[in-house]
Amino acid sequence: MNPAIKISPSILASDFSKLGREVEALEKAGADYIHVDVMDGHFVPNLTIGPPVIKALRKYTKIPFDVHLMISPVHKYIKDFANAGSDIITIHPEATKDLKESISLIKDLNKKVGVSLNPNTKINVIESYLKNIDLVLIMSVFPGFGGQKFIPETINKIKDLKKIKDKNNYSFDIEVDGGINFSNSRDVINAGANILVSGTTIFSENNGDIKKNIETLKSV
């Protein structure tokens, strides 16, 4: 396994009737983060969970909650998600009137800041903010539903972002979410990603052996 590679399993693919136990199982299986997809049915065409569920899950694990807010307008909800127990809060530039202000709010709440790029959002939209954030989440599918196929053009986007990171000696993590599986994880890591989000692969492959699946994704 590559210790530099972190895995953030998406609970969107888990059994919602036993979320607490699923989170406990992920920690025991070696997950580095718990990825929580928050969708509002407006910014993206699906509805998932809100702060009360995150707060309820917090007692089941000590590993960080990697919370991806796909809601608009996002700014007024940031504090609620921070108070619920989020450790990393990732937002979309299209979902806030003032990205700089939203980044500052997340930092003021002592949380790590992530900014997400949809497949059709260019890196230059957030380039001036890269020195002030902790994570860039590159979406390799259009957000809304799990189980979608990886968009191959994402590889070049990861490479371009990694070049900018290295050239400027920035420290943000590069996370990739959408269609990550055993056949493309190596390419994604080699392109420059160091955090992989995966749901369907982790919960479904090898008859649901999540420990084996997490280890396999890390083995490059």
**CATH code assigned at 134:** 3.20.20.70
43-78 pLDDT, tens per residue? 998 889 999 999 999 999 999 999 999 999 999 999
Distance CA(212)–CA(201), nearest Å, equals: 11
pLDDT of residue 143 exceeding 90, the answer is no
Q: Which tens digit of pLDDT belongs to each residue from 79-122?
A: 999 999 999 999 999 999 999 999 999 999 999 999 999 999 99
* Predicted pLDDT at 47: 87
Strand order in the sheet with 65-70: 6-9, 195-198, 173-177, 135-139, 112-117, 88-91, 65-70, 34-39
Residue 188 lies in a domain: yes
Q: In percent, how much of the chain has pLDDT > 70?
A: 99
Cα-Cα-Cα-Cα dihedral of 84, 134, 183, 37, to 10°? 20
Residue 202 within any structural domain of the chain: yes
Peptide bond into 143 cis (omega under 30): no
The band of 148, judged by pLDDT with boundaries at 50, 70 and 90, is: confident
Q: What is the pTM of this model?
A: 0.96
| 81 is a domain residue | yes
Residue span of the structural domain in which 141 resides:
6-218
Please report whether residue 164 resides in a domain: yes
Domain total for the chain? 1
Q: 3-class DSSP state for residue 80?
A: helix
Residues with active-site annotation: 37, 177
Q: At what angle are helices 19-28 and 51-58 packed, to 10 degrees? A: 50
Q: What is the pLDDT of residue 57?
A: 97
Is residue 220 very low, low, confident or very high in pLDDT (cuts 50, 70, 90)?
low
Average pLDDT, the chain: 96
Say how far apart CA 22 and CA 77 lie, in whole Å: 26
Characterize 20-53 residue by residue with b for buried, 16 or more Cβ atoms within 10 angstroms of its Cβ, and e for exposed: eebbebbeebbbbbbbbbbbbeebbeeebbbbeb
Domain presence at residue 100 = yes
* pLDDT at residue 1, rounded to an integer: 63
Say if 102 falls within a structural domain: yes
Residue 1 inside a domain? The answer is no
